Structure formats: C-alpha cells, structure tokens
Copies of this chain bind each other. A is one copy, B any other.
C-alpha cells in the first residue's frame, strides 16, 4: 500500500513552523509497513488544495491530510473535501455534543463557530478527536482512502492511534515490517560504503539499507517488509550481527542510543562515576550527560576550566606545565584529567583542551586542534585531533570524540577485568 501526506497551511510555507506532523505520520506508516510516496505542503488555497488531492490520488492508495480545519482556518479543508467528493455538509450530532461538553468543561460558552465544527461532509465517516473539537474524517473513493485530520500535533496523533491505524489494520491494509538502526562512528561515509559494498549488494530484495548521516555519526537503518514478523526479525538481527563482524570498531550503539548514554550504562554496570574537565568544549560534555534522566547515578559533575586560573585553581594544573607547553597540550590535558578525578573523587575522567575557533590558532596549533584525555581505573589515554569545522561543530565533534574515547576505555577495562 502506498500513502501520501498533504499538509495544508501557510505556517510551513513561510518557515514559521517545522513540519513535524509529516515526520510523525511517515514514521507510523513505515512502522506499519505502508510506504510513504510523497509529502506535499500546500497553501491555504482552495484550487491548490484540490490539485494536490487529485495529484495524490493518481499515485497513492492512502492520503493523509492535516491542517486547514477549525474556526480560525475558515474550515478551508472541509470545503475543499466537499467540492472534491461533490457532496454537501450536515451537522454530526455526536460531534456537536462532544464540542459542547468539551467547551462547557472549560467554561466556554458555545458560539456559531464552535457549532460549525460539527459540520461534516455528507459522504465521510467521522473519526473521534479525543483531544480537541475538530473531528477527523474518513473518505473512500474507488480504492483510495482519504483521511483529514486537524493540524494540532497531539490531536492528529490521537486520531491516528485511536482511529486511523486500527481501521487500516481491520481492513488488512497493514504489512509486517521490522527495523533496526546501527549507529556508526569514526569512519567517513564514502569509506563505510566501500567496506559494506559487497555485504549490501547481497541483501535480499525485501531488506532495505538506508545511510542516515548527521554531523556526529552515520545511522545505518535496516528495514525488512513481509508477512512473517518472526522471520523478518530473525533475518534483520542476523544482518546486524554480520555488520558487527564487518565494522567491529565503528559500531557504538543501536537505534536511539547516544554515546553519552552508552558510557553512562557502562559506568552504572561497574558502579563507577565520571567527572569532566572541559576547556574548549566549555561544559557541553557535562550537558550531554545531564540531559539524560537519572545521569546522577554515574555523572558526579565537572569543571569548566575556560581560563588558566581555573585550570590551576580547580584542577591543580601546574603553572610550569602551562608555561612550558601551553594550555593546549598533551601535558595540560593529562593534568586536567588527573586533577578532576582527584577533585571530584571519581574513577573516570574526561578532559578537553583546544582551540575551537574562529580565532586563536597558530602555525603549530591551528584552529580545530584539540587534546583529549580520558582516564580510568588502570589506563589513561591522551590524543590530539585537528577538526576542520566552524566553532559550533568543533565543539560538538570534540565532545562526541571524547565520549567515544571514554566508551572504548570502559570496554577495554571491562574486558581486562574479565580476564
């Protein structure tokens, strides 16, 4: 089954809001084995909407429409639907009762605009909106299903979950589908593609691989469509294990994992705590930990040592070290990581010192130069990197790289403990 999504409203086209509705609906449909063929965002314009309906019908079996409903929108979508299906409107009594109940709860006296929300095209099946006053509407034309929903995200989501998906399931329109996403770090996309080329071309036709790179990592998404869920699950999981064999050192997690979250789980396993000593990353690593609920179980705190005074006062970095090697150096990074472990009494530490840019670079220490040190119960690792991005991305890359170094240290220490 092929679906299309039509969002109606100027907000998206003037860039005032990001179209999160389409992403949510597309994900729901894909999770249920329905391929989304196109997403179209159109103006609050009658003719334009009718054209979008016709175009979509020529390509898709299921058309989900959001927006352009409700009093302030002048119910432009409803009028377009009546035109498209050549029918009139009538008042749906059940909907009217719900509008009255909902508004009286909020002590709002009902007016004509509210009453008109209960007007629905004659040929539609009304879908309950348990979160608002504008109902959803279900149309069937030949073999195509049209569904119109309000644009308010939680109202649309309620109607999708409570009404639309159950109906599609009942009509046997939902295929089985299984996804796994493998998170890859520390290898350029082109190199990864080369390494996986053979493996990828050997994938069965009903298994799709998507490369989803962002600034921090590459997400490899495996999707299998079919009828036997168990079979799909077994196959995709096996393919994931094959990937683990092919790029053992680049996979750091799965699905919605983050590097900070993964190190957090490893720390919790061993009952250890980590502390951060950040110069160039300026608190971003601490932020990446503390944005995780429950991170106080393994993140004790940190020092943002943005000036040399703080490096010395709070972390015990020696003046001679700063004098001899400078703040951006192996020696300073090492003293920072040892200092923060001592000061905050933790088994693990992360330290960063570098030049995020745009200024402050020199010939031997160009902008983007970062020294990162991570230290654990036995090992301490320090490494130099040179990132070639703008300030914001250099900070993000440095933070993720430092977290990944801690991840690798934690794993190697756990392995050596198992010996």
Contact = CB atoms under 8 A, between A and B. Distances in A.
A284 B11 CA distance: 28
Interface stretch (A87-95, A118-126, A291-299): A291-299
A290 B395 contact: yes
A106 B188 contact: yes
Within the oligomer, what is the number of copies of this chain?
2
A58 to B, nearest CB: 10
A108 B190 contact: yes
Contact of A193 (B19, B102, B113, B395): B113
B212 A293 contact: no
B14 A359 contact: no
Given A13-B37, A36-B13, A72 B193 contact: yes
Interface string A272-287: 0000101011111111
A90 B223 CA distance: 35
A194 interface: yes
Contact of A212 (B17, B70, B285, B294): B17
A71 interface: yes
Nearest to A358: B293
Contacts of A325: none
Contact of A11 (B10, B212, B305, B313): B212
A43 interface: yes
B344 A310 contact: yes
A212 B210 CA distance: 34
Nearest to A213: B152
Interface stretch (A20-28, A168-176, A226-234, A402-410): A20-28
A23 B30 contact: no
Contacts of A72: 189-190, 193, 211
Nearest to A292: B391
Given A12-B23, A55-B55, A72-B211, A345 B313 contact: yes
Contacts of A318: none
A131 to B, nearest CB: 8
Contact of A314 (B18, B103, B294, B344): B344
Contacts of A291: 282, 284, 391-392, 395
A48 interface: yes
A338 to B, nearest CB: 16
A150 to B, nearest CB: 11
A106 B314 contact: no
A305 B290 CA distance: 11
B71 A189 contact: yes
Nearest to A29: B15
Given A189-B72, A293-B357, A16 B210 contact: yes
Interface string A341-382: 001110000000000111100000000000000000000000
A314 B289 contact: no
A290 B300 contact: no
Nearest to A276: B304
A293 B391 contact: yes
A254 interface: no
A393 interface: yes
A306 B300 contact: yes
Contacts of A42: 37-38
A392 B258 CA distance: 15
A30 B14 contact: yes
A17 B11 contact: no
A194 B38 CA distance: 37
Given A40-B39, A283-B285, A11 B189 contact: no
Q: Which 8 A-B pairs have the closest CB atoms?
A: A282-B290, A15-B27, A283-B286, A283-B283, A15-B26, A301-B310, A39-B41, A302-B304
13 contacts: A10-B210, A11-B210, A19-B22, A37-B43, A39-B39, A40-B40, A71-B190, A283-B304, A287-B395, A290-B356, A293-B391, A309-B344, A313-B345
